């Protein structure tokens, strides 16, 4: 699928935009990194003057007059910053000139292919629990600020127990230690295909709790990083995938890790299904460049 001018130029609200990746891809295509451009405007100022003259003669005075118009042109220059979304648009234009942007839902793709795909996005694994833990903490903090105790109408007990608060804080710390700067999400399309991608926190343009608090439809732009064969599993946590490459009992260890997450999630009243923990092939893992709606 080749992006034409009509589809390339459209309104986009970016959730994620990898500045470094955009600059790197533009450079690899021979496009210099432009940080600003100059816009020149020219103003015209018109002035008019009147003149008259009289020449005496023996018979009479001969007079005459007229008007004179002059135009002055004044040029002004304005420096316009080149933003990351602007460079993203330039990247689309450059790719459109030499290649095609594929829709992996309907086209065969290989590693390195540039793709754009839309679907429902939701967080995976520890990242999903991290968001839930953050929500519990926020709820507790807001109730304390208001000087109120949130109670269950039926039981008269607090909705958020001390154990749940402790568990939520532990999970936030655990998530930061285990997944660090890279947060995994999955994208499911209407055609029943699934994709996974790992986003870098520092390139997210909105808070995670706003972007992924609930499953929402986004468009993912990036490149195919890995193809998952039929029957194979992809684990969204980098540390677990690394363990799977070297440990003899890796599969058993990963299963135990996932079961531990599910048990802990129950204590936070969060449901973790199998699709939240692994991506089953056939599927594609996408290197993300932009995520938007």
pTM value surpassing 0.95 = no
Q: Phi, psi (5° rounding) for residue 212?
A: -130, 20
Residue 242's pLDDT is 79
pLDDT-above-70 percentage for the chain: 72
Residue 168 has a pLDDT of 75
Q: How far apart are CA 268 and CA 133, in angstroms?
A: 8
Parallel, antiparallel or unpaired: strands 61-81 and 36-56: antiparallel
- Name the residue among 262, 292, 287 with its Cα closest to residue 276: 262
A 10 A CB-CB count for 16 gives: 24
Residue 200: pLDDT band (50, 70, 90) is very high
Q: Is the pLDDT of residue 68 over 70?
A: no
**CA nearest 94: which of 118, 114, 117?**
114
- Sign for the CA dihedral angle at 264, 266, 267, 269 comes to positive
Please tell me what DSSP assigns to residue 33.
Answer: -
Q: How many other C-beta atoms can be found within 10 angstroms of the C-beta atom of residue 38? A: 8
Residue 37 near residue 83, CB atoms below 8 Å: no
- Buried-state track 277-288, b at ≥16 Cβ within 10 A, e below 16: bbbebebbbbbb
For 127-148, write each residue's pLDDT tens digit. 998 998 888 888 777 777 776 5
CA atoms within 13 A on the CB side of 170: 11
**pLDDT surpassing 50 at residue 266:** yes
Helix (H) or strand (E) holding 121: strand 114-123
123 alpha-carbon distance from chain centroid: 14
pLDDT digits 0-9 by tens, 241-254: 877 666 667 778 88
pLDDT value, residue 128: 92
Closest CA to 83 of 23, 24, 39: 23
Confidence band of 1 (pLDDT split at 50, 70, 90): very low
């Amino acid at each position: 699928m080749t992006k034409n001018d009509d589809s390339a130029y459209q309104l986009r609200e970016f959730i994620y935009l990898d500045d470094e990746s955009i600059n790197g891809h533009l450079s690899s295509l021979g496009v210099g990194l432009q940080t600003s451009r100059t816009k020149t405007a020219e103003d015209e100022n018109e002035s008019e003057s009147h003149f008259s003259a009289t020449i005496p003669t023996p018979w009479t005075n001969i007079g005459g007059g007229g008007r004179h118009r002059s135009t002055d042109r004044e040029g002004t220059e304005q420096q316009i910053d080149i933003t990351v979304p602007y460079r993203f648009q330039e990247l689309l234009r450059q790719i459109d000139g030499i290649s095609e942007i594929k829709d992996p839902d309907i086209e065969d793709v290989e590693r390195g292919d540039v793709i754009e795909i839309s679907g429902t996005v939701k967080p995976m694994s520890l990242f999903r629990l991290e968001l839930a833990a953050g929500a519990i903490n926020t709820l507790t903090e807001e109730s304390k600020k208001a000087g109120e105790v949130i109670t269950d109408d039926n039981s008269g007990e607090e909705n958020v127990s001390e154990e749940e608060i402790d568990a939520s804080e532990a999970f936030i710390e655990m998530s930061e230690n285990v997944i660090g700067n890279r947060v995994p999400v999955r994208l499911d399309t209407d055609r029943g295909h699934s994709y996974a991608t790992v986003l870098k926190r520092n390139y997210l343009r909105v808070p995670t709790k706003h972007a992924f608090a609930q499953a929402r439809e986004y468009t993912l732009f990036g490149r195919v990083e890995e193809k998952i064969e039929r029957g194979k599993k992809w684990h969204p946590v980098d540390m677990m995938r690394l363990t799977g490459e070297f440990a003899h009992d890796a599969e058993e260890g990963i299963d135990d890790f996932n079961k531990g997450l599910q048990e802990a999630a129950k204590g936070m009243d969060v449901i973790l299904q199998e699709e939240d923990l692994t991506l089953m092939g056939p599927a594609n893992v996408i290197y993300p460049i932009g995520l938007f709606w």
